[in-house]
């Protein structure tokens, strides 16, 4: 599997507008402190981590307004000719 891009929205320091991060064969995240480098890597770990613990999603990972609950997290998964959606980590 090759990941061509990731879209991160509402996760850690990423706001609801989010960012699209395009990936090549070799990537390096460079930027000032608090620019989202670690958050982008954590998003990848939450989606594709090897162990269940690495894929554990916590409400504190997201921008939630007071009283708002994390209902579910989705990821788009490329199939042969279509995209599907998986839900996991509801809290």
14-73 confidence digits (pLDDT tens): 887 888 888 888 988 899 998 889 988 888 888 888 888 888 877 778 877 777 776 656
pLDDT for residue 84 is more than 70: no
What is the C-alpha to C-alpha distance for residues 91 and 83, in angstroms, rounded to an integer? 25
Residues 60 and 12: beta-carbon distance below 8 Å? no
Structure token pair of residue 10:
């509402």
> In sequence order, what are the beta bridge partners of 6?
21
Neighbours of 21 (CB within 10 A): 17
Considering just the CA atoms, what is the radius of gyration of the chain in Å? 14
The pLDDT, as a whole number, for residue 81 is: 46
Q: 15 versus 76: which is more confidently predicted? A: 15
In this prediction the pTM is 0.64
Q: What is the mean predicted confidence (pLDDT) over 4-18?
A: 83
DSSP state of 34: T
Q: 26 versus 90: which is more confidently predicted? A: 26
């Amino acid at each position: 599997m090759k990941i061509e891009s990731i879209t991160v929205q509402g996760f850690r320091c990423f706001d609801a507008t989010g960012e699209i991060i395009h990936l090549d064969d070799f990537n390096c995240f460079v930027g000032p402190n608090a620019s989202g480098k670690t958050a982008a890597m954590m998003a990848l770990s939450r989606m594709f981590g090897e162990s269940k613990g690495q894929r554990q999603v916590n409400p504190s990972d997201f921008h939630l307004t007071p009283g708002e609950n994390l209902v579910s997290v989705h990821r788009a998964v490329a199939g042969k000719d279509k995209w599907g959606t998986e839900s996991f980590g509801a809290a």
